[in-house]
Structure 1
Amino acid sequence: MNRGPVSQFIEHHYRHFNAATVVDAAKSYENHLAEGGKMMITLAGAMSTAELGISLAEMIRQDKVQIISCTGANLEEDIMNLVAHSHYKRVPHYRDLTPQQEFELLEQGMNRVTDTCIPEEEAFRRIQHHIEKIWKDAQANGERWFPHEYMYKLLLSKVMEKDYEIDPKHSWMLAAAEKNLPIIVPGWEDSTMGNIFASYCIKGELNPSTMKSGIEYMMYLSEWYRKNSSGKGVGFFQIGGGIAGDFPICVVPMMYQDLEWHDVPFWSYFCQISDSTTSYGSYSGAVPNEKITWGKLDIDTPKFIIESDATIVAPLIFAWLLRW
């Protein structure tokens, strides 16, 4: 299969510095999969609101990613974009907004993420109406599920299908739900849906135990890793910093050092796209070699760090892997 124009452009023009690392990381990712390896992608920031789903959904459909770790915000914001896209408001001059203008956006029910405002009523509340019933039904039946599993139930029920406002092929959560892709969502409580769930618990309408916890996510990840890390092993493709990456990468030293399972292999590929510069105490800006000292990466693990904007770089790497 020949490569498309985007891949050809990258290979011809991206020859040095960060650009060359983009090509090297993409080719190494491709080789990792070709040799039977599996890949985790971690999503920090607001990649869903940046509409990374346009390329990530196809990555999921073509089995270019086997597990995802993401913030609760990315979990829900892909679905919000799916059902409320026409109500979003773009603010190209966001750097020039005064505090008063920011407050006016709040009064309009528009929550800003960089240059994009998410419409609270059409996005948050539309999902809340349906997910509340799923949470309460689960509790009534004595069931407990992970945050992403509740979202899968919501999507697969098709109860919101009539509200879709984008091509559903561009929703990575819909693609993930259809494949029942494993997802890890550390710190889900700080998301909008996590806040809403907590509010129901405070009001006594739900029990916290109806939602499986972060500790249970770590246990789930350790079991998944044990089953999938033989042979070429599992790679780690990190978009941004933060808990989406910090949480899952620790599963390897946890198993090796704390459980004393000495047959656990290191992560077998590592790439991070981040604009966090290397600095004292900056975990997100730490160079990959530092992870060797923490028992996460091996001496010979292919390691790449691309110091750039993930909204620009990640779709290019995905385009290479999809041969676009």
Structure 2
Amino acid sequence: MAKGPVSQFIEHHYRHFNAASLVDAAKAYEAHLQAGGKMMITLAGAMSTAELGISLAEMIRQDKVHIISCTGANLEEDIMNLVAHNHYKRVPHYRDLTPREEWELLQQGYNRVTDTCIPEEEAFRRIQHHIEKIWKQAQERGERYFPHEFMYQLLLSKVMEADYEIDPKDSWMLAAAEKNLPIVVPGWEDSTLGNIFASYCIKGELQPAIMKTGIEYMMYLADWYRHNSSGKGVGFFQIGGGIAGDFPICVVPMMYQDLGWKDVPFWSYFCQISDSTTSYGSYSGAVPNEKITWGKLGIDTPKFIIESDATIVAPLIFAWVLGW
């Protein structure tokens, strides 16, 4: 595939150190797909608030990613950006804010993520009004769904379409819903909508059982991996650290160690973008070879680690894979 200007720039200028690792990882990602492999992308941090959807949505549409693992925050924050983008506030001088100025942002209804302030009323509450109806409808029908399935129902209902404040092609969750892309959301309870759901349960308006659990997500992932890891296998592209990556990568040793399935292939590609440095006990900063000892990666698995800012690196790798 002919490469566009972004890819040409990367190949010409990115020759050493982390820049070279970026190019190597991008080329290996592309080669993995060309050989018939599939790819999981894991999203930690605040990638949705960073508007990674501008490139990730196109990756989804072009079948360059086949399953996503993300935090509950990334699941909801892409939709928040979709419907409340014009109300967000950017604070370029965030490093200079005093505790009093942080408090004033809270009083104004803003929740800050680095240089970006999410408007609570316009973002969270705009979604809450609609998702509450979907949750209660499921309870009335005796139905149970995963967190991402409820969000898919919300998006595909188009009930919020009039509220869109960005080009919908830049929403990765909308692209995923339209593809019915498999998503795993470990620890969903650790999110704003997870907290809101818990509040309804505490008030007795909802039953926790309508929301499928993390254990069920692991069962769901094991089944998906079982049916998609033949041939070239499944690659693992990890953005950041934390539970978004830690949870899904464990499905391989779980299947062959705990279930005793001896024909389970290792992840067949691994790349992590992280600014977490290697230190005692730091899993996010561990070099990929450590994962061999845990039965997650093989000796010959292509392994890459790019020690840099994912908001810079991920769009460049996606641009390469997309031929931009």
TM over 0.5: yes
What is the CA–CA distance in structure 1 between the aligned matches of 2:9 and 2:82, rounded to whole Å?
A: 30
Gaps of 5+ in 1: none
Amino acid aligned to 2:323:
R
Residue of structure 2 in register with 1:200 after alignment: 200
Look up the SS of the partner of 1:312 in the other structure: helix
Aligned to 1:121: 121
Q: Which residue of 2 aligns with 1:36?
A: 36
Please, what TM-score do these two structures have when normalized by structure 2? 1.00
Q: Specify the SS of the correspondent of 2:189.
A: helix
- After TM superposition, list the pairs within 5 Å mapping 1:210-225 onto structure 2: 210-225=210-225
Q: What's 1:82 paired with? A: 82
- The residue type equivalent to 1:55 in the other structure is S
CA offset digits 1:255-275 (Å, max 9, x no partner): 010001010000000000000
- Specify the alignment match of 1:255 in structure 2: 255
1:178 pairs with 2:173:
no
**5+ residue gaps, structure 2:** none
Q: Does 1:2 align with 2:2?
A: yes
Q: TM-score, normalised by structure 1?
A: 1.00
* Other-structure match for 1:321: 321
Aligned to 2:169: 169
Structure 1 residues 20-169: aligned runs within 5 Å: 20-169=20-169
Counterpart for residue 272 of structure 1: 272
The one-letter code sitting in structure 2 at the alignment partner of 1:167 is D
| 1:25-62 Cα distance to aligned partner (Å, 9 max, x none) | 00000000000000000000000000000000000000
SS at structure 2 position matched to 1:42? strand
SS in 1 for 2:69: strand
1:245 maps onto 2:245 in alignment: yes
Q: For residue 289 of structure 1, what is the aligned residue in structure 2? A: 289
Letter in 2 for 1:223: D
SS of residue matched to 1:190 = coil
Instruction: State the one-letter code of the partner of 1:62.
Output: Q
Amino acid at match of 1:39: M
**2-structure distance, mates of 1:224, 1:66:** 10
- Deviation of the 1:118 alpha carbon: 0.2
How large is the RMSD of aligned CA atoms in angstroms?
0.4
Structure 1 equivalent of residue 232 of structure 2:
232
User: How far apart, in 1, do the equivalents of 2:20 and 2:198 lie?
Assistant: 45
Amino acid at match of 2:266: F
SS of alignment partner, residue 294 of structure 2: coil
- Give the Cα separation in 2 of the matches to 1:315 and 1:67: 18
Shift of 1:297: 0.1
The aligned amino acid for 1:121 is: E
CA distance in 2, matches of 1:299, 1:246: 20
1:11 deviates by: 0.2
Per the TM alignment, residue 107 of structure 1 is displaced from its structure 2 partner at its CA by 0.5
The separation in 2 between residues aligned to 1:35 and 1:237, in whole angstroms, is 16
CA distance in 1, matches of 2:262, 2:135: 39
Deviation at 1:198, TM superposition (A): 0.3
Residue 18 (str. 1) matches residue 3 (str. 2) = no
* Aligned residue type for 1:244: A
Instruction: Return structure 1 stretches of 4+ with deviation > 3 angstroms.
Output: none
Q: Per-residue CA shift, 1:238-296, capped at 9, x if unaligned?
A: 00000000000000000010001010000000000000000000000000000000000
Q: How far apart are 1:2 and its partner, in Å?
A: 1.8
SS in 2 for 1:41: strand
1:6-30 deviations in Å (ceiling 9; x for gaps): 0000000001110000000000000
Partners of 1:102 and 1:153 lie apart in 2 by 35
Q: What percentage of residue pairs aligned between the two structures are identical?
A: 89
> Following the alignment from structure 2 to structure 1, what is the Cα–Cα distance between the partners of residues 85 and 75?
16
The amino acid of 2:57's aligned partner reads A
Letter in 2 for 1:174: L
SS at match of 2:262: coil
What amino acid does structure 1 have at the position aligned with 2:141?
A: N
Whole-Å separation in 1 of the counterparts to 2:308 and 2:174: 28
What CA distance in whole angstroms lies between the structure 2 residues aligned with 1:51 and 1:305?
22
User: Which digits, 9 at most, give the CA deviation of each residue in 1:66-117, with x for residues without a partner?
Assistant: 0000000000000000000000000000000000000000000100000000
Read off the aligned partner of 2:154 and give its amino acid letter.
L
